[in-house]
C-alpha cells in the first residue's frame, strides 16, 4: 500500500499560535507548507517569498480571473489565496502539505479536495487571544480590532471543521503533537487511501 501525504488545513483566530505550531510541524521533514499569495502590505516580520508572495490587488484580481487559485478570500480588507500550481506541486512531493488559511478558503479546499483534514486551532480563552494579538506589536490598533471581530465571525464556521486543537499557554509542542497524531490516524482513512481501495477491489 503506497502512502501519500495528507492535505492539512490549519485555521484559527489571529493570536491562536498558528505560526508557532506550523514551525514546529515543519521540523519534521515529512511536512511542508504552502506559501500563499496576498495583497496585504508586508509586516516587519514578513519575508517576501517565504511567509507570503506579495502582489498588488490588481495582480491578485488577475489571478482570480485566470482561474489560478485553488481558494481565496478577502480578510480584513486584503486578498489571500493559494495558487493551484503550489498545491499540485507540493502534493506530488508525497509530503504532508499544510495550508495555514482562514475559514472561507478552508471550505473551498474541502469541496475541491474532500480528503483534506480541517483543523481548528484555538487559544484556550478569549483573553489569551486578545493578549497574544496585542503582544505581537506588528499590527495597528485598528487592525487588531478588525481581527478580533473577524475571529468572532470565523467561529461560526467551526462546525465544518473535522478537529479542534486547543493551544494551551506555553504548550505549543503538545498542540503540535496532537496534530501529528490526527495526521497519522488520517493516513489510515479510507478517503486518504481511495487509490488503494479502488485498485484492490477493481472499482
User: Where does this chain bind ligand 5GP (CB under 6 A)?
Assistant: 14, 36, 40, 71, 73, 75, 80-82, 100-102, 104-105
| Cβ nearer to ligand 5GP, comparing 46 with 196 | 46
Contact 38, 51 (CB under 8 A): no
Cell of 200: 484492490
What one-character DSSP code corresponds to residue 190?
Answer: T
12: number of CA atoms within 13 Å, CB side?
27
Say what angle helices 18-26 and 172-186 make with each other, to 10 degrees: 60
| Cβ nearer to ligand 5GP, comparing 106 with 183 | 106
Neighbours of 129 (CB within 10 A): 21
3-state SS, residue 114: coil
Contact 20, 129 (CB under 8 A): no
| Cβ nearer to ligand 5GP, comparing 65 with 190 | 65
Q: What is the DSSP string of 143-170?
A: HHHHHHHHHHHHGGGGGG-SEEEE--TT
| Minimum distance from residue 76 beta carbon to ligand 5GP (Å) | 7
| Minimum distance from residue 121 beta carbon to ligand 5GP (Å) | 10
| Cβ nearer to ligand 5GP, comparing 87 with 193 | 87
| Cβ nearer to ligand 5GP, comparing 31 with 193 | 31
| Cβ nearer to ligand 5GP, comparing 82 with 193 | 82
| Minimum distance from residue 160 beta carbon to ligand 5GP (Å) | 14
| Minimum distance from residue 198 beta carbon to ligand 5GP (Å) | 31
CA distance 122 to 189: 25
| Minimum distance from residue 190 beta carbon to ligand 5GP (Å) | 28
Task: Let me know if 184 is exposed, middle or buried by CB neighbors in 10 A (0-12, 13-18, 19+).
Answer: exposed
| Minimum distance from residue 44 beta carbon to ligand 5GP (Å) | 12
Closest residue to ligand 5GP in the complex (CB): 105
Place of cell 472561507: 104
Amino acid at each position: 500500500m503506497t502512502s501519500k501525504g495528507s492535505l492539512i488545513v490549519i485555521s484559527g483566530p489571529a493570536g491562536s499560535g498558528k505560526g508557532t505550531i506550523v514551525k514546529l510541524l515543519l521540523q519534521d521533514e515529512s511536512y511542508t507548507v504552502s506559501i500563499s499569495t496576498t495583497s496585504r502590505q508586508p509586516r516587519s516580520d514578513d519575508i517576501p517569498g517565504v511567509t507570503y508572495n506579495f502582489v498588488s490587488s490588481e495582480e491578485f484580481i488577475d489571478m482570480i480571473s485566470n482561474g489560478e487559485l485553488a481558494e481565496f478570500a478577502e480578510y480584513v480588507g486584503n486578498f489571500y489565496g493559494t495558487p493551484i500550481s503550489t498545491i499540485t506541486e507540493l502534493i506530488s512531493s508525497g509530503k504532508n502539505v499544510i495550508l495555514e488559511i482562514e475559514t472561507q478558503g478552508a471550505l473551498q479546499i474541502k469541496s475541491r479536495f474532500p480528503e483534506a483534514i480541517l483543523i481548528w486551532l484555538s487559544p484556550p480563552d478569549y483573553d489569551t487571544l486578545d493578549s497574544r494579538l496585542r503582544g505581537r506589536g506588528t499590527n495597528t490598533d485598528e487592525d487588531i480590532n478588525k481581527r478580533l471581530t473577524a475571529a468572532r465571525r470565523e467561529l461560526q464556521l467551526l462546525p465544518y471543521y473535522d478537529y479542534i486543537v486547543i493551544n494551551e499557554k506555553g504548550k505549543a509542542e503538545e498542540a503540535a503533537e496532537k496534530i501529528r497524531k490526527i495526521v497519522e490516524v488520517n493516513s489510515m482513512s479510507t478517503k486518504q487511501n481511495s487509490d488503494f481501495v479502488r485498485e484492490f477491489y477493481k472499482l
